[in-house]
Amino acid sequence: MWSMVVSVPLLPAVVMVLGRYRVEVAALSHRALAWALRLLRGAPCVRSAHAFVFSNCTHGKVDSVLETFDLYADTHPSLCISPQIAEALDAAVKRVRPSRVLELGMHCGYASVRLLRLLPPAGRLITVEMDPLAGELGEEVILVAGFKPSQFQVLPCSSAEAIPTLHPFLESDDGTGDGLDLVLMDHDPQQYLPDLLALEREELLSASGCSLLLIYRNQRAEDHREILDHIRGRPGSYCIGSELQFMLEISYRKEKHDGI
Ligand SMILES: C[S@@+](CC[C@H](N)C(=O)[O-])C[C@H]1O[C@@H](n2cnc3c(N)ncnc32)[C@H](O)[C@@H]1O
């Protein structure tokens, strides 16, 4: 009773504060809700995803590995790309037909397996994962799916550390090498622009054309803005292929007399 009497005069002040800071309050509530949902469903666990896939899939069968991952994601929290993103990713890879692919953020190897199954026999995937346990378990999943070590390379470090070391992985047997045909970024949206700049600086994007697929799981406009500003400022090198709610596809082509 007393608490009601004391709190009623405070109501206008509370309403004013809520009105003034409504964006911040909404963001805070969104985070609290996400946190509560995470508590209820449990945190995504790479060990549990790996154990489920390893013991339930048919070893050596790519489709079985992917289906078992999907089954896992139906009943457990999972960081793997959703079926909707997977479909868009497959469509982009089939269109681009890349030979040399870089994936940033491998996690448990689900998207790596999806990518590898669409590469030509001489194609190669380089995949980067900063969590050493995820890197180890993801690599095992790729092998379980039936791919050979000559078809892929797992780099267990951060994207910023990996990018300057990529040149030797892109060289052909004769010592020459064009750059990457496709880059999938699904690691940390804050890192997308710095990593793109590093890929440009190191001249790792194929001069004849490279597609960059950027995954956005939280659909926050500010995540896109910086990278879109960069791309729009370089119309000679970049164009936006498609801008889905969860995936941004950018095409890169080295501009003549680019100056980079
Ligand atoms: C959303 S998961 C990737 C899921 C994966 N693409 C799939 O669908 O199978 C993101 C992963 O990126 C890794 N990661 C985050 N920041 C990174 C960075 N800067 N460099 C490398 N890996 C990073 C995390 O450890 C995590 O395993």
The domain segmentation of the chain, as residue ranges, is: 2-41, 79-252
Residue 45 banded pLDDT, cuts 50, 70, 90: confident
* Token pair recorded at residue 197: 């700049």
- Ligand 1 atom nearest 107 alpha carbon: 27
Best residue among 129, 141, 154, 165 to mutate for probing ligand 1's pocket (most ligand atoms within 8 Å of CB) is 129
Distance 106 CA to ligand 1 centre (A): 5
Distance 105 CA to ligand 1 centre (A): 3
* Pocket-forming residues, ligand 1, beta carbon under 6 Å: 79-81, 104-105, 107-108, 110-111, 128-131, 134, 158-159, 186-188, 191
Q: Which of 155-159, 168-172, 256-260 has the lowest mean pLDDT?
A: 256-260
Nearest CA among 107, 203, 188, 99 for reference residue 152: 99
Best residue among 65, 72, 106, 139 to mutate for probing ligand 1's pocket (most ligand atoms within 8 Å of CB) is 106
Residue 17 banded pLDDT, cuts 50, 70, 90: low
Of 3.20.20.70, 3.40.50.150, 3.90.226.10, 3.20.20.140, the CATH number of 79-252 is: 3.40.50.150
Distance 101 CA to ligand 1 centre (A): 16
pLDDT for residue 32 is more than 60: no
pLDDT score for 148:
97
pLDDT for residue 126 is more than 90: yes
pLDDT score for 29:
54
| Average pLDDT score over residue span 15-27 | 60
Across 1-15, 41-55, 98-112, 224-238, the highest mean pLDDT is recorded for: 98-112
- Ligand 1 atom nearest 217 alpha carbon: 1
Strand partners, 211: 182, 251
Count of CB atoms situated within 10 Å of the CB of 118: 16
Looking at per-residue pLDDT, the higher value among 54 and 243 belongs to: 54
Contact 93, 117 (CB under 8 A): no
pLDDT score for 224:
79
* Token pair recorded at residue 49: 């995803």
CA separation (Å) from 1 to 4, 7, 8, 9, 68?
A: 5, 10, 11, 14, 57
CA separation (Å) from 188 to 7, 46, 72, 104, 194?
A: 43, 17, 23, 9, 11
Distance 208 CA to ligand 1 centre (A): 28
Q: Rounded to a whole number, what is the distance in angstroms from the first to the last CA of the chain?
A: 70
Looking at per-residue pLDDT, the higher value among 238 and 29 belongs to: 238
Percent of the residues in the chain that have a pLDDT greater than 70, as a whole number: 78
pLDDT score for 30:
44
pLDDT for residue 149 is more than 60: yes
| Average pLDDT score over residue span 246-256 | 89
- Ligand 1 atom nearest 187 alpha carbon: 12
With 0-12 CB in 10 A as exposed, 13-18 as middle and 19+ as buried, what is 56? middle
Q: Determine the 3-state secondary structure of 85 from DSSP.
A: helix
Distance 235 CA to ligand 1 centre (A): 29
Averaged confidence pLDDT in the chain? 87
Q: Is the pTM of this model over 0.75?
A: yes
Residues in contact with 165: Cβ distance below 8 Å, sequence separation at least 6, in sequence order = 155
Residue 40 banded pLDDT, cuts 50, 70, 90: very low
166-219 pLDDT, tens digit each: 999 998 766 556 899 999 999 999 999 999 999 999 999 999 899 999 999 876
Cα 53 to the chain's mean position, in Å?
A: 20
68-78 pLDDT, tens digit each: 999 999 999 99
| Average pLDDT score over residue span 54-70 | 98
